[in-house]
Structure 1
Amino acid sequence: MKAFKHVRSHFHVPGPGPLRTEKLTGVVHLNAISYHSFTESQLDPQSSEWREKALPKLIKLTPLLKNLDLINGKLVNLHDKCTVNDEFLLQSMHTFKSIATAFLMKQALSTVSTPCLSVDKPLYMETFTLNSLKKVCDILDVSAQQRKLVRLAICPQVTQHQIWTGALEEILNQLKFEMSVNDYGCIMAQQIVVNCLKFLDDVMSYDPESTSWMRLTLKKDANLPPSAKWEDFLEMINDLMICLKNEEGFFFYVTKLETMKEGLSQIKDVLVDKNIGYKEARHQQSLVQKKLTKSLGHSSKCLFTLLLYYLYGSIRDIELDICCWFSEGDVGNKCCLCVGKILISDEEKMLRREVKKLDRALRVIKFVYEMAEMKENLELQGHVWCLGCENRSLVYRGHKFFIHGFSL
């Protein structure tokens, strides 16, 4: 299997327990998983019978979980993006991912003649969300000093006024579209979204691309309404979240709005109004960037959302199932970082979508790697595993991707 051709790590699998990983002095320990119908003796992926029993289990679960995946810990229907509140299906998905992960590790080890050398790098063998700079730096094993460099380099770029307002507008436009598609009936929530977008339209009317930048100032008029502030926008977001919090289909947007509130709370006193002139408006825009740069920390999900929008025009976090380091000891200090997804369906449309997601993950990792000024010779790869797929490889935007089927 190409994906793990150069694995030289030693994996120890003890008795049953939740899937977790620990980085220990050069050795990565992978705890075993509870697999419902498997007995303890059958749980060890290094046993001779385990893979023969695991593959039928995966095949049995596949039709049950078709078109579903884990997103932010929730089971989601990939067609309509709605949360599926079914505890049995959720547990079945965790079981599928756990068995598949251990199956892949067994397959990886079977391709290596002497898997005794260890790689002192983090190992992630369970579904997780790439949603902060801290997680990216953890993957890259970035030092504390380098993390400071990363934040100092990234913050001034992604907190620019047009990036901040653009990210908010993207969230609200997507929410508005979802409301129209799903015939969402709450008039109050719809009106709040419209008002929020109107607010942002007024804010962005001062951008250099707009002709209104030529306006110097306005005469003070007692009849004009008081100047608006970002605090007004924050209040509307709070009201919108109250309307949406119990709606199954809008879990993602509630989560993302909660994320953006971190930044909004820091700039709530900043003015945003057409009643002020161009010079004052530019000053207020500068305050937004300065306050966000100062307040958004390394682990901030708000900062990471701005980074995703800055890089891709997207506000969606990136879900991964596997993230592993492999070392080619005979090629200097070359390291290979592999990120991967385990899919239920092998539909070509879904495969293309996952390749694009993995490409975004690799590019944001590479971006942070470069900002950290790390010296290792890094290679990045993406991998997708799915029952029924034929093994093949492709290059997308300069990155190597491997599509794998499960086999004994």
Structure 2
Amino acid sequence: MNPFKHVRSQFHLTTSLRTKKLTSFIHLNPISYHSSTESHLNPQSSEWRERALPKLIKLTPLLNNLDLINGKLINIHDKSTVNDEFLLQSMHNFKSIATSFLAYHSIIESSSTSGTPSLCLNKPTYMEPLTLNSLKKVCDILDVSAQQRKLVRLAICPQITHHQIWTRALEEVLNQLKIKLGINDHESIMTRQIVVNCLMFLDDVISYDPNSTSWMRLAPTKKDSDFPRSAKWEDFLEMLNDLIICLKNEEDFFFYVTKLESMKEGLLQIKDVIVDKNNIGYKEARHQESLVQKKLTKSLGHSSRCLFTLLLYYLYGGVGDIEVDICCWFSEGGKCNNYLCVGKILTFIDEKMVRREVKKLDRAIGVIRFVYEMAEMKEVLEVRGHLWGVGCENRSVVYRGNKFFIHGIGM
């Protein structure tokens, strides 16, 4: 059992009690990669660190250019899935050992000005890889109450379920998939054709020529055979189902299948809505667009990945979920304040990787702050981004007005 599963304490603890609680938790749940000799050692001890650090150093070159995404081992350069159980277990080991270091050391000492910080265990603490893929997860991190979660959803839904956001988010997923199919030289002609047809469908929905008078055309009657049947989102849903079937056994397309499945949740709610603007009147087309927004707003709940995908596109124009390795609250001077740390543990750090991961952490910080504001929380929230790597120098970088701290893991 991983010792850093989501830990939540229901009462306030003093700094010394927090340390004792976390130490006891590790002793009761030894990390699987420790030998029987190491399993009883306190990760605070120098003996444990002396044995664990060489393992991190040894694993670092082995896991170069790899990372965990949605539980899968992914090559960060071409986004391909690496099907190697040894490397996958090695990555879990690397993250677990590194997290043990960070749990017992001043992981943000270089950014702290008010003394050594300590974990705030009376608030949600995540010390293992975590995928931000729903509003529920973000609200869990922020410890948002049930009443406030209702405020969040009521505030966010009307903004992100707009017809244009919905169609553009779908288009973004399919365009990324189309590129991936080209890179992998996918042999399935059917798969390519379905993607093309889906994009053509969306193009008809999104595009509108202001010089055209087609919007003035009256809606066809049942007796009028000159007009083809008006398309519905159900047609798109059928193509999406076929696309998922074609890709579900392809490891390299795991991310896209996951995203298509999440967007399918919204399609099931609006499958009866008409989308063909050429065959219905202008006012009817606007009415159908408003139906999309109303149905999605009503049906997509806090745990909906579809809703979160729409939020990501609304905020950043992208649809990729956000991966973090650590997300925890800290207290300084014995007081639990609104200081949230989000971070990634990397197998290697160079300038390109720093820029890449800083952008991801910036998105995580942006989503967390956005939800916090929508929840109308009274206290000021401070979120700091951190990156850790073996052998790197401690420093900081600024991106979009946010400061991110880079730390070396060592003795």
TM-score by length of 1: 0.90
User: Cα 1:339–1:219, aligned 2, differ >3 Å: closer, same or farther?
Assistant: closer
- In the alignment, is residue 63 of structure 1 matched against residue 61 of structure 2? yes
Q: Distance in 1 between matches of 2:175 and 2:184?
A: 14
What is the CA-CA distance between 1:328 and the residue it aligns to? 3.4
1:276 to 280, 285, 290: 280
Given that 1:35 and 1:43 are in contact with CA atoms closer than 8 Å, whether structure 2 keeps it comes out as no
The equivalences for 1:212-361 within 5 A come to 212=212, 215-218=215-218, 220=220, 221-273=224-276, 274-329=278-333, 334-361=337-364
1:200 to 199, 202, 217: 202
Q: Distance in 2 between matches of 1:64 and 1:129?
A: 24
Please say which of residues 349-358 and 34-43 is displaced more in the overlay. 34-43
What is the CA-CA distance between 1:106 and the residue it aligns to? 1.9
Q: Distance in 1 between matches of 2:268 and 2:313?
A: 20
User: Helix, strand or coil: the match of 1:381?
Assistant: strand
Please say which of residues 62-71 and 44-53 is displaced more in the overlay. 44-53
What is the CA-CA distance between 1:35 and the residue it aligns to? 2.2
Give the letter for the 2:389 counterpart: C
Given that 1:205 and 1:212 are in contact with CA atoms closer than 8 Å, whether structure 2 keeps it comes out as no
What is the CA-CA distance between 1:278 and the residue it aligns to? 1.2
1:167 to 165, 169, 185: 169
Give the letter for the 1:398 counterpart: G
Number of the residue aligned with 1:26: 12
TM-superposition CA deviations, 1:212-232 (whole Å, max 9, x none): 587222463413221111000
TM-superposition CA deviations, 1:201-247 (whole Å, max 9, x none): 111124xx854587222463413221111000000000001111111
Given that 2:106 and 2:118 are in contact with CA atoms closer than 8 Å, whether structure 1 keeps it comes out as no
- In the alignment, is residue 380 of structure 1 matched against residue 383 of structure 2? yes
User: Cα 1:99–1:224, aligned 2, differ >3 Å: closer, same or farther?
Assistant: same
Given that 2:160 and 2:314 are in contact with CA atoms closer than 8 Å, whether structure 1 keeps it comes out as yes
The equivalences for 1:29-44 within 5 A come to 29-30=21-22, 31-32=25-26, 33-37=31-35, 39-41=37-39, 43-44=41-42
User: Cα 1:19–1:380, aligned 2, differ >3 Å: closer, same or farther?
Assistant: closer
What is the CA-CA distance between 1:95 and the residue it aligns to? 0.5
Give the letter for the 2:4 counterpart: L
Q: Distance in 2 between matches of 1:91 and 1:281?
A: 53
Please say which of residues 242-251 and 170-179 is displaced more in the overlay. 242-251
TM-superposition CA deviations, 1:255-300 (whole Å, max 9, x none): 0000001000000000011211211111100000000000000111
Please say which of residues 220-229 and 259-268 is displaced more in the overlay. 220-229
TM-score by length of 2: 0.89
Given that 1:323 and 1:340 are in contact with CA atoms closer than 8 Å, whether structure 2 keeps it comes out as yes
Number of the residue aligned with 1:103: 101
User: Cα 1:275–1:405, aligned 2, differ >3 Å: closer, same or farther?
Assistant: same
Given that 1:213 and 1:278 are in contact with CA atoms closer than 8 Å, whether structure 2 keeps it comes out as no
Please say which of residues 184-193 and 104-113 is displaced more in the overlay. 104-113
Q: Distance in 2 between matches of 1:97 and 1:330?
A: 28
- In the alignment, is residue 404 of structure 1 matched against residue 407 of structure 2? yes
Number of the residue aligned with 1:10: none
What is the CA-CA distance between 1:330 and the residue it aligns to? 7.8
User: Helix, strand or coil: the match of 1:44?
Assistant: coil
What is the CA-CA distance between 1:44 and the residue it aligns to? 2.4
Please say which of residues 191-200 and 48-57 is displaced more in the overlay. 48-57
Given that 2:119 and 2:329 are in contact with CA atoms closer than 8 Å, whether structure 1 keeps it comes out as no
User: Helix, strand or coil: the match of 2:388?
Assistant: strand
Q: Distance in 1 between matches of 2:75 and 2:118?
A: 41
1:124 to 112, 123, 126: 126
TM-superposition CA deviations, 1:149-205 (whole Å, max 9, x none): 000000000000000000000000000011111111100000000000010011112
Give the letter for the 2:296 counterpart: L
Q: Distance in 1 between matches of 2:219 and 2:272?
A: 22
Number of the residue aligned with 1:8: none
User: Helix, strand or coil: the match of 2:158?
Assistant: helix
Give the letter for the 1:141 counterpart: D
| Structure 1 segments unaligned to the other structure (5+ residues) | 1-15
Identity %: 72
TM-superposition CA deviations, 1:342-383 (whole Å, max 9, x none): 001112111110000000000010000100010112111000
Give the letter for the 2:132 counterpart: L
Given that 1:42 and 1:49 are in contact with CA atoms closer than 8 Å, whether structure 2 keeps it comes out as no
User: Cα 1:337–1:276, aligned 2, differ >3 Å: closer, same or farther?
Assistant: same
RMSD: 2.3
Give the letter for the 1:217 counterpart: R
User: Helix, strand or coil: the match of 1:62?
Assistant: helix
User: Helix, strand or coil: the match of 1:215?
Assistant: helix
Q: Distance in 2 between matches of 1:172 and 1:159?
A: 18
Give the letter for the 1:22 counterpart: V
Number of the residue aligned with 2:84: 86
Give the letter for the 1:322 counterpart: I
2:398 to 395, 398, 403: 395
- In the alignment, is residue 46 of structure 1 matched against residue 44 of structure 2? yes
Q: Distance in 2 between matches of 1:217 and 1:204?
A: 18
User: Helix, strand or coil: the match of 1:21?
Assistant: coil
The equivalences for 1:132-143 within 5 A come to 132-143=134-145
Given that 1:263 and 1:302 are in contact with CA atoms closer than 8 Å, whether structure 2 keeps it comes out as yes
TM-superposition CA deviations, 1:309-335 (whole Å, max 9, x none): 00000100000000111133588x742
| Structure 2 segments unaligned to the other structure (5+ residues) | none
Q: Distance in 2 between matches of 1:145 and 1:391?
A: 41
What is the CA-CA distance between 1:20 and the residue it aligns to? 1.6
What is the CA-CA distance between 1:388 and the residue it aligns to? 2.3
Please say which of residues 291-300 and 115-124 is displaced more in the overlay. 115-124
